[in-house]
Amino acid sequence: MTRRTFYLTTPIFYVNARPHLGHACTTIMADAMCRYRRLRGDRVYFLTGTDEHGDKIAQAAAQAGVSPQAYADEIAAAFRATWRRLGITNDDFIRTTEARHKQVVQRILQTLHDAGEIYFGEYGGNYCFGCERFYTDKEIVGGKCPDHQTPLTFIKEKNYFFRMSKYQEWLITHIEEHPDFIQPERYRNEVLGFLREPLQDLSISRPRSRLQWGIPLPFDDGYVTYVWFDALINYASALGFPDGDLYRDLWPHCEHLIGKDILKPHGVYWPSMLKAAGIPIYQRLHVHGYWSLGGGKMSKSVGNVVEAFQLTDKYGYDAFRYFLLREMNFGLDASFSEEALVGRLNADLANDLGNLASRATTLIVNFGRGVVPAPGPEGAEEASVRETLERVRREVDEAMKEFAFQRALSAIWEFVGRVNRYVDSAAPWALAKDDSHAERLRTVLYTLGESLRCLGIVLDPFLPEAAGKIRAAVGTGAPSLADLEWGRLAPGTPVQKAPGLFPRIEVKVSETSQAAGQSSASRITLDDFKKVDLRVAEVVAAEKVARSKKLLKLTVTVGEETRTLVAGIAEHYAPEALVGRKVIVVANLEPATLMGIESNGMVLAGSTEGTVSLLMPDKDLPPGSRVK
Ligand code: MSP
């Protein structure tokens, strides 16, 4: 693997609001990407920070009755503390009120002014204080800001302007010649769309009589610079532009990650500013979509980005981080709800990953006397586990090139699922009963230990805490993608049990049903419910139904009785993975004949978006136990 240099930035966040879900989303994505690139062995530099000048910060400070600087100090400290709490691994945190930044802004302003790129003129236009920019007539929707849906203010005043219009043709050519300059493609097309209209020059100043809270123009101290001209430059000032070592080493590798709301400043203003100042253009702009809220049905459903963010404390940083990365298709919008978060936590983290870590380590401790045994020859099942890992590794690498965290995670979960099925089919507990299977047992335990070791590496960017615990349990140290080669786990490595990596969250029935807002007409009485005889059943045999893609024939025991059931789960469960598992069945359903087989009862399963999950008791219960 070639070692590359990678410099990634987040937007610098306004200090008029405390950190919330939206800020956390971008910062967590950037962190996952930087951790992944470090894991690859790349030289990584990760920058975030705060944007502290401008009208709205001055207004927020005035409302709070403190000076803008004191206000900015407090909120910037809150951002820093939050990122520390969430385990964000940024290398620097820039504030636009720092001297190192102001100097660079003034220097670039002076250069552009000297070169005739900045001129004094008058402009009248519709201004949004939320976005801190003018909107053209075409962009305005119903007389309001398209982003904030608030009325715009008509401002006409004398100001300094940057000759941005001059760069329109150059920018179109640059984007066309560099197909991955702005990604995903829809945002590249959006920027090319902006550039189909004549580009206006950019107002870069405010008269001091109206706004004090900004960086004075070096050539006219009656004016301060306008927020975008100040803010965007942070990406270079943080590296010590123009002659700092970091600037020299990192600038040629600069990539930005932003939300779609600030596409135009990053996709149009910033490259034009860089071009005019003779600074090389950044390499790539990565744009993610927006989270919307309130789609959930829990009674305490979240209503705003701040409340949503508070769920980090309730469910843990890893679970929150996993949800954001897993649930958002990079570039598209996504919907946040507490219910969906708990769903992912229970299904993917507690059930799939947590159970696997707990089962696999317990098996090694119990049947391998706490150390990884030397494996015997690899059988077909082990080869399939290894091949799944090799494929997943390639898929993760491809996905991460495009910031497609969601695809990377779904690939990793294919591996988790494969290993879970392997535990069931290899059944080490059965092998342990017979000494003649000792070698096979060692092979199975080794495969489980090795699978966990690999998960401890590949999960590190996405679930840093849990990955660390998995590595500690299988006795491996600092993770590196170079070690994601099957077979590197040394026999003799001590293993410790890893129980309860992610405890399941019990959702109170009253919470969900109240919130579902069901009318009394659609409810049933307890007596109605009691008519359904739900039982624990053990699957003793399972096979595919001939000529059916969907059906499995299951033989189950319910107490003393053995029955045949037909279930539409063949696309989601391999028959062999079900043998020995306990499921929940409706025991008093009228028999039905499916593909010529009489089914006596129904297996319960939940489903969403193509995922089907059988209900299984989370503690051991004898077949026939009543479920109520
Ligand atoms: N200060 C400017 C950026 C200057 S960068 C040179 C700014 N700050 S902001 O505080 O408003 O942050 C905007 C960014 O926060 C978005 O681009 C995105 O990264 C993130 N998000 C804010 N709300 C969000 C959602 N609801 N969903 C996803 N990300 C969101 O703009």
Number of alpha carbons in the 13 Å side-chain half-sphere of residue 209: 3
Task: Give the pLDDT confidence score for residue 560 in this predicted structure.
Answer: 81
21-34 pLDDT, tens digit each:
999 999 999 999 99
Residues with CB under 6 A from ligand 1: 11-14, 22-23, 25-26, 51, 231-232, 234, 258-259, 261-262, 290-291, 305
For residues 50 and 273, what is the distance between their CA atoms, to the nearest angstrom?
20
- The single-letter DSSP state of residue 489 is S
For residues 234 and 47, what is the distance between their CA atoms, to the nearest angstrom?
10
For residues 374 and 446, the answer to whether their CB atoms sit within 8 Å is yes
Both tokens assigned to 83:
């990122």
Q: Could you tell me the pLDDT band of residue 110, with boundaries at 50, 70 and 90?
A: very high
Asked whether the CA dihedral 329, 334, 338, 340 is positive or negative, the reply is negative
454 is catalytic: no
Q: Could you tell me the pLDDT band of residue 525, with boundaries at 50, 70 and 90?
A: confident
Kindly name the residue from 25, 128, 254, 454 that is annotated as catalytic: 128
For 393, phi then psi, to 5°, come to: -60, -45
Kindly name the residue from 25, 34, 131, 454 that is annotated as catalytic: 131
20 is catalytic: yes
Both tokens assigned to 597:
């087989």
145 is catalytic: yes
Q: Which residues pair with 183 in a beta bridge?
A: 286
Task: Give the pLDDT confidence score for residue 37 in this predicted structure.
Answer: 98
| Across 65-69, 344-348, 406-410, 508-512, least confident range | 508-512
For residues 600-605, give the mean pLDDT. 92
Contacts of 310 (CB under 8 A, 6+ apart): none
Q: Is the pTM of this model over 0.85?
A: no
If you take atom 29 of ligand 1, which residue's CA is the nearest one?
22
- In this structure, the strands spanning 153-162 and 118-128 are antiparallel
Picking from 460, 565, 48, 528, the residue whose alpha carbon sits closest to that of residue 258 is 48
Given ligand 1 and candidates 27, 31, 51, 148, which is best to mutate, with the most ligand atoms within 8 Å of its CB?
51
For residues 313 and 299, what is the distance between their CA atoms, to the nearest angstrom?
18
Q: Could you tell me the pLDDT band of residue 294, with boundaries at 50, 70 and 90?
A: low
For residues 127 and 155, the answer to whether their CB atoms sit within 8 Å is yes
Q: Could you tell me the pLDDT band of residue 288, with boundaries at 50, 70 and 90?
A: very high
For residues 407 and 421, what is the distance between their CA atoms, to the nearest angstrom?
21
Q: Could you tell me the pLDDT band of residue 571, with boundaries at 50, 70 and 90?
A: confident
